[in-house]
Structure 1
Amino acid sequence: MGQHSAGGPVAPDPATTLADLSGEALAAGYAAGDFDPVEVVDAVAERIAACEPTINALWHTDLDTARAAAADAGRRWRSGEARGPLDGVPVTIKENIARRGVPMPSGHAAGDPAPADHDAPITERLTEAGALILGSTVMPDWGMLSSGVSSRHGITRSPLDPALTTGGSSSGAGAAAAAGYGPIHIGSDIGGSIRLPGTWLGLATLKPSFGRVPLDAPYLGRCAGPLARTVDDLRRAMTVIGRPDDRDYSELPPYEGDYTASGFDPAGLRIAVHTTAGCGMGTDPEVAAAVDAAAERFAAAGAEVERIEPFMDEGLLSDVDRFWRVRSWVDYSALGIEDQRRILPYVARWCTAGADVAGSEVLRCYQSIQTMRQVTVRATAGFDLVLSPVAPVAAFPAERPMPFDDPDQPMGHISYTVPYNMSEQPAASVNAGYTGDGRTIGLQIAGRRFDDAGVLAAAAWFEATARVPAPVRTVG
């Protein structure tokens, strides 16, 4: 395990460089002329060279293009014409978010995927803002694992402790964020795939309200959002990627507020807390204790904190799992025999359970997902925020596809996260502490639908007041 105590790191990080600076610090340095974007890209390139052989976060890189874009950004900063808070700031994008000319294999080894013929809305918004897209990050097969295990990419490992998982399916995005491949990384999330790397890597993350960040391939519960080392960088990212695009037929109206507004005060807020999910894996006592301590912090600041009963159950969790198995079986069965053999055996066995599911059962599972949405909204509607674990357990060995080793089981570790995908509510994660052996514990902060800014403000307040020590990078 990493070099931590129960309260946080006890060993110093490897040398801090320009690669480790926040978006705010980069913008300030550019404005002051202390350094320029090309120097920052070079620092990130050095970090990638040092860490990538171990952590395996990147599917595709184009540092030469990033340097050219950095030179343009440097000229804009020097002439006082910077495009905004992300101009000259390094970012990465998950491999399932389209970048023109870059293949999108969806994490699996089957076939030879053609290069994308377009940029996704997120890619366009980042490019327009002057962000420096360094590359695309890896994911497990079809994004259907909560780890960094992939038939195409191999194993992605935690920069905090390479023996441990990154979480997934935004595994490469999480690893890149924790390793310091620049400050902002974009992932996607259909049941916890942004927040799970958050809890197991000590990151700040946001799964936005459904439709807030536009996608060119929207799907039930699917969102894209940022992973970073600080909440402030999540807020900066949302000012850019959270703008509408007509290609997303589920898009929300434009957000007219300010993601970066200060002045959050818990006093008078109604906040729910629960550390029992009602289904799936049991919650580790150390994880529950960290969430309870966070709730006490909100209460001490004047919030009205109330413990609520679980609103999920095993049937709801099993039904969404079965629905996804059928979806992946459709993809798997379309492959030739040789390509099917290239799919990760765990995922192949998992989705094969969807092979003989009747259409009426698929419809029942879909209706069950709507029930999940209903019970989640009903349980949380009376509260401004809901606090819970992100996952019931801390990080597990990197070689394991899941926290448990049985593809016949439903996904028993997503019972805190998946409800908010289906209810379309925003949910952030922020590092809340450490287990006795030094593994990170994330706090999930969920809010009412459309209140992404409020959820981020609460996460920023907790980050600033709790002062949980930053996790230690041990790689590179």
Structure 2
Amino acid sequence: MEPTQTLADLSADQLREGYEAGRFEPGEVLAAVGERIAACEPTINALWDESVAAARPAAEASAARWRAGHPLSRLDGVPVTLKENIARAGVAMPAGHAAGDPQPEAQDAPIAQRMAEAGALVVGSTVMPDWGMLSSGVSSRHGITRSPLDPALTTGGSSAGAGAAAAAGYGPIHIGSDIGGSIRLPGTWLGLATLKPSFGRVPLSAPYLGRCAGPLARTVGDLVAAMDIIGRPDVRDYSQLPPLTGGYGADFDPVGARIAVHTDAGCGSPVDPEVAAAVDAAAERFAAAGAQVTRIDPFMDEELLADVDRFWRVRSWADLRALPVAEREKILPYVRQWCIRGSDISGVEVLRCYHSIQRMRQATVAATAAYDLVLSPVAPTAAFPAEWPMPFNDPDLPMLHVGFTVPYNMSEQPAATVLAGYTGDGRTIGVQLAGPRFADPQVLAAAAWFEADAALPAPRRTVGTAG
């Protein structure tokens, strides 16, 4: 049975059109989102903080602005969520783990401030796994976050709650973060449109090598709407890029576009044939429309993948070691064991791994510089069971599933995902579309073109339905 469509399922542009025409008001949309949260949340577990009631005054103020014809932005009155590691004044940031007693934050992060200035309705903060170092929704503090498409399956991670909220219809726009695939992995495993922007394009309170924040949504149009608000400089982010000229909307003409495709990462887990076939079919669509499509060789290797994993282990070991001994035991055992493998790595080895990351950046730029767009899988496999911390479940192994995603974090290039197909048993498959650094609008435009040309049936939510 198809789930009942409500105001919670409308896109940001559909909400804007409805507000302009007076067909409905932000308070009604907020109520619909609240009902959806009540129906889905007991199963999917997407929210750390639920703020529907707290958003009612903002919804009333937004309604008054729309009636007067003076909205603050195209997101005025639009429900959104923010990942729990994006600070909101008055809300604690536990970083996904059960250790310590996190206290409410004193002020908004840049993203939260931009959303408030735009009149968006923040309906909650979404959960993540411990320190964001899992590609699932398994957390020592929050428990298990499940897919609204099939609660037996993972959401992906670490933007697990953001992905679940997007797929469930907790409003149209959800902001996550990504250091090696954490926005894009929920994209492929939940059938979402997502964007990991160019490094420095969306301001962060605490920038770090490879880390970005960006939107997850059900349509590419909502990614553009989100980026127009959050993708602006803020002096608090010392890695910020200069302002983008012209906004995030752009046109894409496939005729003559230089497009590369590869379905072998050169490292990590082997690619499932169904995943590779979906990516190849996406490339064929571009070629049929007039693009110049070239198959390229892998530019990653096992050493590069192992070295970035080792670098992250040392960083997370430092976080674990900073906790009191009794508190360390509260960290998820999988993550704790993964961190401990970084405890005896020397400073010289850490520096070697850092230089290896720079080689990864060099290799990625060299392999992709001749192309307007690079198509690849997001992950080697489709969604795995929700209870698994990782698709391979061995913390002694490096992260075998990020060979397609992590290079673009380290090269600082934008990379989007969009639904590309389904496995024979109905699991979603996304295609990753990466472009040159700073080409965020062009990557979004190409993703929008593919979304429209493929016209695939949307994933079906099974949680919170009447039948």
Task: Give the structure-2-normalised TM-score.
Answer: 0.99
Shift of 1:37: 0.2
* Corresponding residue for residue 33 of structure 1: 22
* Corresponding residue for residue 136 of structure 1: 125
- Specify the SS of the correspondent of 2:60: helix
Of 156, 164, 169, which residue of structure 2 is paired with 1:175?
164
Partner Cα distance (1:222, 1:341) in 2 = 27
Q: Note the 1:331-370 alignment, pairs <5 A.
A: 331-370=319-358
Q: Note the 1:398-413 alignment, pairs <5 A.
A: 398-413=386-401
Partner Cα distance (1:257, 1:305) in 2 = 28
Structure 2 residue 269 is the aligned partner of structure 1 residue 284: no
Shift of 1:13: 2.7
Structure 2 residue 385 is the aligned partner of structure 1 residue 397: yes
Of 68, 72, 91, which residue of structure 1 is paired with 2:80?
91
Q: Cα deviation per residue 1:411-450 (whole Å; 9 max; x = unaligned)?
A: 0000000000000000000000000000000000000000
Letter in 2 for 1:287: V
Letter in 2 for 1:225: G
Unaligned 5+ segments in structure 1 are 1-11
Shift of 1:336: 1.2
* Corresponding residue for residue 184 of structure 2: 195
Q: Cα deviation per residue 1:25-49 (whole Å; 9 max; x = unaligned)?
A: 0000000000000000000000000
* Corresponding residue for residue 9 of structure 1: none
Structure 2 residue 129 is the aligned partner of structure 1 residue 101: no
Partner Cα distance (1:301, 1:378) in 2 = 26
Partner Cα distance (2:359, 2:456) in 1 = 37
Shift of 1:257: 1.8
Shift of 1:258: 3.0
Letter in 1 for 2:113: E
Task: Give the structure-1-normalised TM-score.
Answer: 0.97
* Corresponding residue for residue 239 of structure 2: 250
Of 415, 434, 437, which residue of structure 1 is paired with 2:425?
437
Structure 2 residue 147 is the aligned partner of structure 1 residue 158: yes
Shift of 1:260: 2.1
* Corresponding residue for residue 70 of structure 2: 81
* Corresponding residue for residue 5 of structure 1: none
Letter in 2 for 1:204: A
Q: Note the 1:10-49 alignment, pairs <5 A.
A: 12-49=1-38
* Corresponding residue for residue 329 of structure 1: 317
Letter in 2 for 1:475: V
Partner Cα distance (1:336, 1:448) in 2 = 44
Unaligned 5+ segments in structure 2 are none
Partner Cα distance (1:452, 1:69) in 2 = 31
Structure 2 residue 447 is the aligned partner of structure 1 residue 447: no
* Corresponding residue for residue 59 of structure 1: 48
Q: Cα deviation per residue 1:68-102 (whole Å; 9 max; x = unaligned)?
A: 10000000000000111100000000000000111
Structure 2 residue 409 is the aligned partner of structure 1 residue 421: yes
Structure 2 residue 108 is the aligned partner of structure 1 residue 119: yes
Structure 2 residue 200 is the aligned partner of structure 1 residue 204: no
Shift of 1:187: 0.1
Structure 2 residue 396 is the aligned partner of structure 1 residue 388: no
Shift of 1:114: 1.2
Shift of 1:252: 0.4
Partner Cα distance (1:323, 1:256) in 2 = 35
Letter in 1 for 2:414: P
Q: Cα deviation per residue 1:359-387 (whole Å; 9 max; x = unaligned)?
A: 00000000000000000000000000000
Structure 2 residue 291 is the aligned partner of structure 1 residue 303: yes
Partner Cα distance (1:258, 1:431) in 2 = 24
Q: Cα deviation per residue 1:391-415 (whole Å; 9 max; x = unaligned)?
A: 0000000000000010000000000
Partner Cα distance (1:279, 1:257) in 2 = 38
* RMSD of aligned Cα (Å): 0.6
- Specify the SS of the correspondent of 1:342: coil
- Mean Cα displacement is larger for which, 61-70 or 326-335? 61-70
